[in-house]
Structure 1
């Protein structure tokens, strides 16, 4: 139910944002997007604090920072080689040409890619989905659903229909993680969860810089780091 509720709030928020978009002054829409960037910056900062968590420190000692940095560096190389950012944009452009006939393609791509990364990258999306699949309740995803609904409204008011398309990505990604949790059981240790959370926090910081128009970091290319960070924990612990 967690992902279903989350998708519903993104759809409703996006539609409301699109309806209100033309009635909102450009300055107001720019300010809202900047505030979302600042909020993402705060969430990323809180997530990065997991680097100093007792569980991660007990597992890898003082190597937590190096572990996350290595995951991000190798993840960025892998993501660049796989051209994840480009493929996300190409997929969004294809969707735009398939389902829409008017509007700015670049704006649609920005809306879908930005919203998808905000909604699907982070501890609430990953850990909440896995927790839901493990039968521990969907409370984390319910909280995320409320946040995403308001964020979708703000994004859609400035970026348009592309934000609504991100609801499909939320369904696929979070639904897949929920299924993974259901089938695989509790496979991540507390230390691995903290490493994943810290890595996701750094990616959120990069996304915040992008939303604030400070640095166009290809955040999509960093996503493989979310898979590598938990894998590196037992390797570093063994050393």
Structure 2
């Protein structure tokens, strides 16, 4: 079953979010401390991933051009509006539903682990990487839900659609991509994803307010540039 890994990942987020909702009565001081701890962990993960690049200039160009496209497309605003619509339907007024949805979606979506795992599911029907990611996302969703609310639960939907879509596409297309190019792409995608995760960590800790969603087109641009370089 090609979509098994993506399905388990989504269910882990839902379960963790429900468990986190039960723990929402913990003190604000504890929530703040735990949130800062998550932020620190995300910062370290982002830094670790960012150093995997072999061409920082390409990463920087892709990130900046991607930000320009993201701002023109207003991706962050659209994600927030979508979160607000869900908030009006499922959450209480004056909650931080949209922030929880957007923050959790970005944390769970960005990075090469989901991409590599989805490719393994699509090409070899091997779900071990996505199962490992499911465990990580499940624990993360407990604390995110406890601090940011029920919006975290709905991030399971884009995670399933994103990883499931890659798995289905990989089952058709990846047989035509050379292994050398695939390895190169995974390293660079991990690096640019690490920079975005670093920004998320800074946001979680309240040090900045970076519009991380608007950098997402940079991943697509990076794939195009690396592929072009490979064949030239």
How far apart, in 2, do the equivalents of 1:207 and 1:43 lie? Answer: 11
CA distance in 1, matches of 2:88, 2:65: 34
Count matched residues.
Answer: 225
- Pick aligned residue for 1:227 from 205, 220, 230: 220
- Structure 1 residue runs of 4 or more that deviate by more than 3 Å after TM superposition: 234-239
Which blocks of at least 5 consecutive residues in structure 2 are unaligned? none
Residue 16 (structure 2) pairs with residue 13 (structure 1): yes
Task: Judge conservation of contact 1:111–1:161 (CA < 8 Å) in 2.
Answer: yes
Once superposed, what is the RMSD of the aligned Cα atoms?
Answer: 1.5
* Cα deviation, residue 153, structure 1: 0.4
Tell me which residue corresponds to 1:104: 94
Is 1:92 the counterpart of 2:95? The answer is no
Report the TM-score when normalising by structure 1. 0.89
Q: Counterparts in 2 of 1:71-86, with a 5 A limit?
A: 71-86=62-77
User: Where does residue 124 of structure 2 map in the other structure?
Assistant: 135
Give the alignment of 1:40-189 within 5 angstroms: 40-52=42-54, 64-100=55-91, 102-105=92-95, 107-135=96-124, 137-186=126-175, 187=177, 188-189=181-182
Distance apart, 1:238 and its partner CA: 6.2
Q: Offset at 1:130?
A: 1.7
The alignment status of 1:207 with 2:210, answered yes or no, reads no
Q: Say whether the 8 Å CA contact 1:79–1:223 is kept in structure 2.
A: yes
Deviations 1:147-174 (A, max 9, x none): 1111100001011110111111111111
Query: Which residue of the partner structure matches residue 4 of structure 1?
Result: 7
The answer for unaligned runs of 5 or more in structure 1 is: 53-63
TM-score normalised over the length of structure 2: 0.92
Farther off after superposition, 42-51 or 211-220: 42-51
